Structure 1
Amino acid sequence: MTQPVSPPRYDSGKAPATARPPAWRTLTARADVRTLSLLGVLAVLIVIGGVTKPDEFLDTRNLQLVLTQASVIGVVTVGMTFVITSGGIDLSVGAIVALASVWATTVATQEYGFAGILFTALAVGVGCGLVNGLLVAYGGMVPFIATLAMLASARGLALQITDGRTQIVTVDSVLSLGERDAYVLGIPPLVLVFAVVTVIGWLVLNRTTFGRRTVAVGGNAEAARLAGIDVRRQRLYLYLLSGLCCGIAAFLLIILAGSGQNTNGNLYELDAIAAAIIGGTLLSGGRGTITGSVLGVLIFTTITDIFALNNLQSDVQQIAKGAIIVAAVLVQRRTASTT
């Protein structure tokens, strides 16, 4: 029995067309480049700090302080990253942190000890997030206006509760978490909490249906609705998540400062938005990265520490931060135009 003969192949003289790489692979490659770039910037800042103030900057206590300060705003930034990824914005995070911190440190609240302070901080944060979510998702308000109103209201209520005074924490179990005896292998408890929040945030955004829905809503809300996603409920959940992160940050700030003040969380909203932007989260929504946001927080915190150690004025520091934000936005626009 003869075997079938395959038809002859003719050489056209042209190289075979290569398949176009999948879109997800291209996005992954860009994300890797962005992460490496942020790591490079952070490394340069560490070198600058080590050269200008080697004894002070590279001291273990100073590095622990940098990480501790980054933890509070870092937790807020994780929640902000989710909101911005969905195409929203939250200008009230700093005011919510202030309100949660002063409400949790009143004399009446401190009578319930550690659990009372923690529960109150989380409850106030989630409650404010619920109001934001209802106004945006079901009230049809623009996120900018709704959260701006919350910013003003929360700041005013925080001032009313404290009457402009500092509320000192007297609960030893809370204060002890800020002492060196509470460090785990040289790592402050606040940093450990920040690490846990970061890992959970990364897993939720990248490995769960909730994260995929968040990206879908930010990319195209109408298409997400037609695909069966309850857009309004998703947005409500996102502002609840942002409020929860603010409550956690308020509790960490209480541990760090040992008090509650109506001025707590000042400009946190700008720092969180800036960290998310330079990390690679699109302001227009549809793309977010927890890793990039955390690196953005570390970059800004390191800059602040270097400026403080070198006795440089805060106005120069703000100019440097502004330049970094502008550069990050320009890079985002260039990347989006080439997509």
Structure 2
Amino acid sequence: MTQPLSPPRDTAGKTPPAGRPAPWRSLPARADVRTLSLLGVLAALVVIGGVTRPDEFLDTRNLQLVLTQASVIGVVTVGMTFVITSGGIDLSVGAVVALASVWATTVATQEYGFAGVLLTAMLVGLGCGLVNGLLIAYGGMVPFIATLAMLASARGLALQITDGRTQIVTIDGVLDLGERDSYVLGVPPLVLVFALVTTVGWLLLNRTTFGRRTVAVGGNAEAARLAGIDVRRQRLHLYLLSGLCCGIAAFLLIVLSGSGQNTNGNLYELDAIAAAIIGGTLLSGGRGTITGSVLGVLIFTTITDIFALNNLQSDVQQIAKGAIIVTAVLVQRRTASTT
């Protein structure tokens, strides 16, 4: 006689209470709720901006500016999302952006034209990511320490290259990307690059073996190793990815500002981490969302724009951002405790 199937049990061997969904079944629903919540916050900010400064905030040029500014930090945040999902951290992203931007705008580099600037920025980002990855994955260094060292070194090298001066870009092909004539159906090229990076990042995290391995390493590195995943190589690849994103962001910043400065990327690491956190990526690793991170970037960029249009001081803006980060972490802890 066939025995009836027993109800599923949780990891402690207990049967989930009747009417209560299993934790893994509730994850997609929670992700949907989180995304809708972020969209609600963004919509509320748009309403606030429209009410307080209707003529300026809702102007097409201002909305294009918000999206353009979000593109630079957004590309960095995509790479940061992968690193945090794996259980790591990268404090060097802002300094790497600065180093890549000044190295790509030296007189010697600009002699090679558009391709020289773009390739240099990407190669510098990859090089810094390689150093971070080797120190962490094969050198056994804690990510916090390794990337903090890279932060200091990259900032110092960027200052040494520029000697504290601004390096002006003279290549028309680079500067033209920031002009309105280069917009595609009213969309700035930088925003299109951001959309492309976001799409590739989403597919990589959600639809590939690389993404599944990233989540597995962040959830339990030892279990991932026992399952046959080369954890060290995976971590190396993740920091290479973060460095590549920094290189792309550096090029976008060069286009946006028309120059390279050692002060570029200031506090980008905090903005990228904050955007990933409020988007739903767990600081402890094991869960990441590109969609949430992008919404987090848009929320912070919109807040900055609203504060600027209303002539509010930057210290109030930082307090507001800090309150959002604390709230997001508390919500994450509450969600984790109920899982």
Structure 1 and Structure 2 fold alike (TM over 0.5): yes
Provide the residue aligned with 1:299 in structure 2: 299
Provide the residue aligned with 1:45 in structure 2: 45
Provide the residue aligned with 1:28 in structure 2: 28
CA distance in 1, matches of 2:215, 2:292: 16
Provide the residue aligned with 2:231 in structure 1: 231
Provide the residue aligned with 1:70 in structure 2: 70
CA distance in 1, matches of 2:23, 2:284: 19
CA distance in 1, matches of 2:260, 2:116: 14
CA distance in 1, matches of 2:26, 2:332: 15
Q: Gaps spanning 5+ residues in structure 2: where?
A: 1-16
Q: Which stretch has the larger CA shift, 210-219 or 22-31? A: 22-31
Provide the residue aligned with 2:287 in structure 1: 287
Deviation at 1:22, TM superposition (A): 5.4
Instruction: Provide the secondary structure at the position in 2 that maps to 1:152.
Output: helix
Q: Deviation per CA, 1:82-137, whole angstroms, max 9, x where unpaired?
A: 00000000000000000000000000000000000000000000000000000000
**How many residues align structurally?**
323
CA distance in 1, matches of 2:33, 2:184: 33
Provide the residue aligned with 2:245 in structure 1: 245
Indicate yes or no: 2:236 matched with 1:269: no
Question: Counterpart amino acid of 1:88?
Answer: G
CA distance in 1, matches of 2:21, 2:332: 22
Provide the residue aligned with 1:158 in structure 2: 158
Provide the residue aligned with 1:139 in structure 2: 139
Instruction: Provide the secondary structure at the position in 1 that maps to 2:326.
Output: helix
Provide the residue aligned with 2:58 in structure 1: 58
CA distance in 2, matches of 1:118, 1:22: 48
CA distance in 2, matches of 1:27, 1:186: 37
Deviation at 1:24, TM superposition (A): 4.0
CA distance in 1, matches of 2:200, 2:249: 15
Question: Counterpart amino acid of 1:232?
Answer: R
Question: Counterpart amino acid of 2:132?
Answer: N
Indicate yes or no: 2:322 matched with 1:322: yes
User: What TM-score do the two structures reach when normalised by structure 2?
Assistant: 0.94
Larger Rg: 1 or 2? 1
Instruction: Provide the secondary structure at the position in 2 that maps to 1:178.
Output: coil
Question: Counterpart amino acid of 2:29?
Answer: A
CA distance in 2, matches of 1:106, 1:246: 18
Indicate yes or no: 2:162 matched with 1:179: no
Question: Counterpart amino acid of 1:236?
Answer: L
CA distance in 2, matches of 1:25, 1:308: 43
Deviation at 1:23, TM superposition (A): 4.4
Provide the residue aligned with 1:114 in structure 2: 114
Q: Deviation per CA, 1:232-269, whole angstroms, max 9, x where unpaired?
A: 00000000000000000000000000000000000000
Q: Deviation per CA, 1:169-219, whole angstroms, max 9, x where unpaired?
A: 000000000000000000000000000000000000000000000000000
Provide the residue aligned with 1:190 in structure 2: 190
Provide the residue aligned with 2:104 in structure 1: 104
Provide the residue aligned with 2:8 in structure 1: none
Question: Counterpart amino acid of 2:259?
Answer: S
Q: Spell out the pairing of 1:80-91 with structure 2 (5 A cutoff).
A: 80-91=80-91
CA distance in 1, matches of 2:318, 2:18: 48
Provide the residue aligned with 2:204 in structure 1: 204
Provide the residue aligned with 1:260 in structure 2: 260
CA distance in 2, matches of 1:47, 1:165: 41
Question: Counterpart amino acid of 1:153?
Answer: S
Provide the residue aligned with 1:10 in structure 2: none
Instruction: Provide the secondary structure at the position in 2 that maps to 1:245.
Output: helix
CA distance in 2, matches of 1:27, 1:93: 30
CA distance in 2, matches of 1:122, 1:187: 24
Question: Counterpart amino acid of 2:31?
Answer: A
Structure 2 CA distance for partners of 1:313 and 1:20, relative to 1, 3 Å? closer
Provide the residue aligned with 1:3 in structure 2: none
Q: Gaps spanning 5+ residues in structure 1: where?
A: 1-16
Instruction: Provide the secondary structure at the position in 2 that maps to 1:264.
Output: coil
Deviation at 1:25, TM superposition (A): 3.0
CA distance in 2, matches of 1:192, 1:23: 37
CA distance in 2, matches of 1:18, 1:143: 43
Deviation at 1:81, TM superposition (A): 0.1
Deviation at 1:18, TM superposition (A): 6.2
CA distance in 2, matches of 1:57, 1:299: 14
Instruction: Provide the secondary structure at the position in 1 that maps to 2:137.
Output: helix
CA distance in 2, matches of 1:175, 1:150: 30
Deviation at 1:222, TM superposition (A): 0.1
Deviation at 1:20, TM superposition (A): 6.6
Q: Deviation per CA, 1:256-314, whole angstroms, max 9, x where unpaired?
A: 00000000000000000000000000000000000000000000000000000000000
Deviation at 1:62, TM superposition (A): 0.0
Question: Counterpart amino acid of 1:275?
Answer: A
Question: Counterpart amino acid of 2:292?
Answer: G
Q: Which stretch has the larger CA shift, 23-32 or 308-317? A: 23-32
